[in-house]
Amino acid sequence: MYKIGLFTDVHGNDLALKLILKEIEKYNVDEIISLGDLIAIGPNSNEVLDIVTKLNNFSSIRGNHEKYYLFGFSNPLSCTESTHQDWVKESINPHHQSFIEGTRYQINKTIEGVKLCFMHYPLRSTEPVHYEYIVHNPEASDLDNLFKDVDADVICYGHEHISSFIKGKKLYLDVGSCGCPYPEKDITRGLILIIDNGKVEYIPLKLTYNSVEVVKDMYRKEMPERDFISKNFYLYKK
Ligand SMILES: [Fe+2]
């Protein structure tokens, strides 16, 4: 039996990350994989990196926000979005740069004959790197099309922030955001993937918590876009 603890889209929310890691710990997993976007949106990207870089048997996929950190933000939706990304970059201790550089767009593994693929979201181009546009509320046929080029039995991904577990030609597990959930607020999500004698099982994790300290940190640190982000992603109102 092989167990993998998964989370994605932590987005600078160290409180949610600590909660989900504590839950994952109960399952005695063989390894932990982050599916990308550890940083940005939330106030504590550096603290998140401090935590994950100390984990054993841990690897991380590169999300669009790690891509922005490394290569810049080519077409921001607004100038405040750019200001937010610049602030995130400045908030991260430069010693974390090599960890972010070591993230990969995709990890493939074969466990007990089952082909697994871990990614943030499929890429529509590799040079330069662009992620596919998000398909909201996907049906199995949408995901069959989106992941048609991925050679795997099980695909674990994130990016949309909403969790879904859909069987099409492959099994598609959207873990749902750990630190910036949608549509529900003040929950954190993760997933335990179990391969047992070639059989695939999964246990979605979902915990509720109080985001007050996360929102307070946004204001204490004067994070750009704090009004928009706290209003849309967290229950606590300053
Ligand atoms: Fe994200």
- Output the CA 181–ligand 1 centroid distance in Å: 9
133 found inside a domain: yes
pLDDT at 148: 97
CATH number for 18: 3.60.21.10
- Amino acid at position 28, single letter: N
Going by DSSP bridges, is the β-strand pair 31-34/2-7 parallel, antiparallel, or unpaired? parallel
CB 159 within 8 A of CB 63: yes
**Which domain does 23 fall in, by range?**
2-233
- Output the CA 198–ligand 1 centroid distance in Å: 31
- Output the CA 126–ligand 1 centroid distance in Å: 19
> Mean pLDDT score of the chain, rounded to an integer?
95
* Predicted confidence (pLDDT) per residue in 133-187, tens digit: 999 999 999 999 999 999 999 999 999 999 999 999 999 999 999 999 888 999 9
**Ligand 1 is a single-atom ion; what residues have CB below 5 A from it?**
9, 37
pLDDT at 112: 98
Cβ-count burial of 128 within 10 angstroms (0-12 exposed, 13-18 middle, 19+ buried)? exposed
Question: Residue 89 and residue 79: Cα distance in Å, rounded?
Answer: 15
Largest CA distance in the chain: 52
* Predicted confidence (pLDDT) per residue in 93-103, tens digit: 999 999 999 99
pLDDT at 79: 67
Report residue 76's pLDDT band, with 50, 70 and 90 as the boundaries.
low
What pTM was estimated for this model as a whole? 0.95
- Output the CA 25–ligand 1 centroid distance in Å: 23
197 found inside a domain: yes
51 found inside a domain: yes
216 found inside a domain: yes
238 found inside a domain: no
Going by DSSP bridges, is the β-strand pair 164-167/154-157 parallel, antiparallel, or unpaired? unpaired
pLDDT at 99: 98
Neighbouring CB atoms inside 10 A of 186's CB total 17
175 found inside a domain: yes
78 found inside a domain: yes
pLDDT at 144: 98
pLDDT at 77: 57
Report residue 127's pLDDT band, with 50, 70 and 90 as the boundaries.
confident
CB 92 within 8 A of CB 40: no
* Predicted confidence (pLDDT) per residue in 176-202, tens digit: 999 998 889 999 999 999 999 999 999
- Output the CA 161–ligand 1 centroid distance in Å: 6
Neighbouring CB atoms inside 10 A of 133's CB total 9
Whether the pLDDT of residue 78 is over 70: the answer is no
- Output the CA 64–ligand 1 centroid distance in Å: 7
Whether the pLDDT of residue 73 is over 80: the answer is no
185 found inside a domain: yes
The total number of structural domains in the chain stands at: 1
- Output the CA 148–ligand 1 centroid distance in Å: 22
